Amino acid sequence: MTKDGIILFLLHIVKRIGIYTSGGDSPGMNACIRAAVRTALAFDIEPYGIRRGYEGMIEDDIQPLNAASVSNIIQYGGTVLKTARSKEFMKAEGRAKAAENLKKHGIEGLVCIGGNGSYTGALYLQQEYGIPAIGCPGTIDNDLAGTDFTIGFDTAVNTAMDAIDRVRDTAESHGRVFFIEVMGRDSGYIGLYAGLAGGAEGILIPEKGNQFEVLIKHYEQKSRKKEFSIYVVAEGDDEGKAVDLSKRFLEHYPESDTRVVVLGHIQRGGKPTASDRILASRLGAHAVKGLMDGLSNCAVGVVKDEILYTPFAEAIKGKKELNDNLWVLNEMICR
Ligand code: F6P
């Protein structure tokens, strides 16, 4: 074990690896799969694709991949390997079956593309069956420690920003107040970035409390209340969802013309941005490189443009700090 809990398999030469996507999909996962497959092939490692994450591992939905298997996929959202949130894998019997299938196929290392739950699964396989794994952060939420950005976050923010721009047009025409809900179960990253990029009048995210009060004060100070307003709400905000907040707003201003837009899973799909494709390609390649170097039990990330490996336990538990500079900047300019 190295000093940070990353396990080092000395003199372990990996000949065959399994690649899978798990949990919520995110745009750029295909680019990550492609990079992992082609990096493996470049080093004479045989890549196998495991379909539907841990479900496919349990059901033996495992196939060899080649360079052509990942042709013409970099531009697509979703994941060609499909994904699932497996209940069976939470049980010891499910994991035993998964480990047995991996062994049957001679798979000696795993590239796990997903979020917190996916990393936890890989950690179990490592701890219970000694199967080395490296995680690639794939989630639109950008809530994983050990990387500045996760695969899919940039695309989701751009999708949300585009939606805000469109809502802005109609909001302005009608002089309406819109509450736009973005994804982010426990994290305000999409809310903060999309709200800032979309010029929202207010952003309500779980990391910052009492923002409804600030919103009301801010609205109160508006010289022309008939003007439109856009408020971005993260789905995980402690003060409520967009629909709850719009109701509270109407209690304060019954005369206001208020509407709610919930962007939902639209943010999870679509063409990945160049940024996401490049990030995903780097991470996929370095996950394989990590396995070749004998690393396991860790997630690969990019921090300040450098590749970094972080122990799973830290990546899972370590709450990613919000970028406070952006929050302060937004507070100053969202008038
Ligand atoms: O974790 C990514 C995410 O998109 C969250 O932002 C959201 O709360 C959740 O997944 C939705 O999950 P599902 O696709 O299972 O409805």
Q: What is the pLDDT of residues 245-293, one digit of tens each?
A: 999 999 999 999 999 999 999 999 999 999 999 999 999 999 999 999 9
Q: Which of 142, 181, 268 has the most ligand 1 atoms within 8 A of CB, as the residue to mutate?
A: 268
Residue whose CA lies nearest to ligand 1 atom number 7? 185
Q: Which of 141, 159, 182 has the most ligand 1 atoms within 8 A of CB, as the residue to mutate?
A: 141
User: With a 6 A CB cut-off, is 141 part of the ligand 1 pocket?
Assistant: yes
pLDDT of residue 221: 84
User: With a 6 A CB cut-off, is 183 part of the ligand 1 pocket?
Assistant: yes
Report residue 227's pLDDT band, with 50, 70 and 90 as the boundaries. confident
Report residue 220's pLDDT band, with 50, 70 and 90 as the boundaries. confident
pLDDT of residue 3: 45
Atom of ligand 1 nearest to the CA of 187: 6
State the chain's mean pLDDT as an integer.
94
Catalogue the active-site residues: 141
User: With a 6 A CB cut-off, is 12 part of the ligand 1 pocket?
Assistant: no
Atom of ligand 1 nearest to the CA of 185: 8
- In the predicted model, is pLDDT for residue 241 greater than 70? yes
Query: Using an 8 Å Cβ cutoff, are 270 and 24 in contact?
Result: no
Report residue 225's pLDDT band, with 50, 70 and 90 as the boundaries. low
User: With a 6 A CB cut-off, is 180 part of the ligand 1 pocket?
Assistant: no
Whole-number Å distance between alpha carbons of 120 and 297: 10
User: With a 6 A CB cut-off, is 185 part of the ligand 1 pocket?
Assistant: yes
pLDDT of residue 253: 94
Atom of ligand 1 nearest to the CA of 183: 6
Domains in the chain and their CATH numbers? 2-152+272-317 (3.40.50.450), 153-268 (3.40.50.460)
